[in-house]
A and B are shown apart, each in its own frame.
Chain A
């Protein structure tokens, strides 16, 4: 059991453990988002993924997302665990649990958390296909940027 509510792990994620970190007596809702490894992206078959992270900074950025949520929803309690290493199709990559007194806030805050993860948390995934592999450098999962940024044709 990892006591921290914002964790990067190389072990399979225990979903119940993440939920238990936020469950409390004044919660009327616990919303759980589970991000899993998808096989097909734009018709291309993924064999497996490898996630890597700048672990200490990634954990700080996850905690920052928790702080941002607290600013908008002061009564929210948030826990996020992201797995790294080699993941197979359907493996759980990330679990976000948000407990709030009322359900609308729990839905909104979970959505906010996953979108922010894709913006500010230093975690990268490398897709492995039948015909090669590539680090994915784009939130929309439609392109990779070998140069580290969108090229002109990506902007059109």
Chain B
């Protein structure tokens, strides 16, 4: 399973912070596209930054079973 984390407005729109997806080897970009297609509430996910296992990642970064992929909207700490 791949654990997907969503934050801020993405979390609020979907009504959950966490999803589990059964996927073979994939990439951040493919996961992003799949989520955008299957969950219309996740408008904006295409522009979020992404992290794999708590490190910033690119769309080309590969993702495998057991990984945690987070989609990170523009941050506003401080």
Contacts and interface: CB of A to CB of B under 8 A. Distances in A.
A45 interface: no
B75 A123 contact: yes
Given A137-B73, A148-B44, A148-B45, A118 B78 contact: yes
B71 to A, nearest CB: 9
B78 to A, nearest CB: 5
Interface of B is mostly: mixed
A126 interface: yes
A58 B76 CA distance: 12
A118 B7 contact: no
A35 B78 contact: yes
Given A148-B9, A148-B45, A148-B47, A123 B77 contact: yes
Interface residues of A, number: 34
Contacts of A137: 8-9, 73-74, 76
Interface string A112-149: 00100111111111100000000111110100011111
A135 B73 contact: yes
A51 B70 contact: no
Interface residues of B, number: 24
Interface of B: 5, 7-10, 12, 43-48, 51, 54-56, 70, 72-78
Given A54-B70, A120-B75, A124-B8, 15 more contacts: A53-B77, A54-B51, A57-B70, A60-B54, A82-B77, A94-B77, A117-B77, A117-B78, A122-B77, A125-B77, A135-B8, A135-B76, A137-B74, A147-B47, A148-B73
16 contacts: A35-B78, A53-B77, A60-B54, A118-B77, A122-B77, A123-B75, A123-B76, A124-B73, A124-B75, A124-B77, A125-B76, A137-B74, A139-B76, A146-B44, A148-B10, A149-B74
Interface of A: 35, 51-54, 56-58, 60, 82, 93-94, 114, 117-126, 135-139, 141, 145-149
Contacts of B12: 135
A118 B55 CA distance: 17
